[in-house]
Amino acid sequence: VKADATDNMVPSARSENMRRVRGKNTRPEMLVRSIAHRLGFRFRLHRSDLPGKPDLVFPKYRAVVFVNGCFWHGHDCRRGRRPSSNQAFWDAKLEENAARDRRAEESLRALGWRVLVLWECELRDEVELGARLDSFLRNAEGKDHE
């Protein structure tokens, strides 16, 4: 990717770029869905009327879950490491993504939703993931709730 690529993107390329940022039906997302389903929770997907279009929405629990890819959402982990070339471009791009995520979370909380962010790199242990999801949803005072 060229450093100035976004400025010259045609609309279809730009939307393709955005799709990758908040990718739908990604493998990590499918895993979280299948675990939530197995635990018996009812949820809806990508509700576009909510800020940030959360990946999973649990209306009964007034809770949403985002499943974030480490790279595109700027996780502080090995997978989230930025490329060493075109640094200015990636810094701007990924900081913009992270800022968008923060705004969506704040808006959701202001609307009374509880927010859990799951990172791609944290999904290796399905048992642990299930326990985390369960405690987040059932416990209104959950530790993931700021």
Q: Would you tell me which residues interact with Zn ion (CB under 5 A)?
A: 70, 75, 77, 79-80, 119, 121
Please state the separation of Cα 108 from the chain's center in Å.
13
Structure token pair of residue 86: 């075109």
d(CA 126, CA 68): 16
For residues 113 and 116, which CB has a smaller minimum distance to Zn ion in the complex? Answer: 116
Q: Classify residue 83 by its DSSP letter.
A: P
| Smallest distance, Zn ion to C-beta of residue 118, A | 10
> If residue 61 lies in a helix (H) or strand (E), which one and from where to where?
none
| Smallest distance, Zn ion to C-beta of residue 43, A | 23
For residues 73 and 113, which CB has a smaller minimum distance to Zn ion in the complex? Answer: 73
| Smallest distance, Zn ion to C-beta of residue 71, A | 8
For residues 22 and 61, which CB has a smaller minimum distance to Zn ion in the complex? Answer: 22
Q: Name the phi and psi angles at 129, rounded to 5.
A: -60, -45
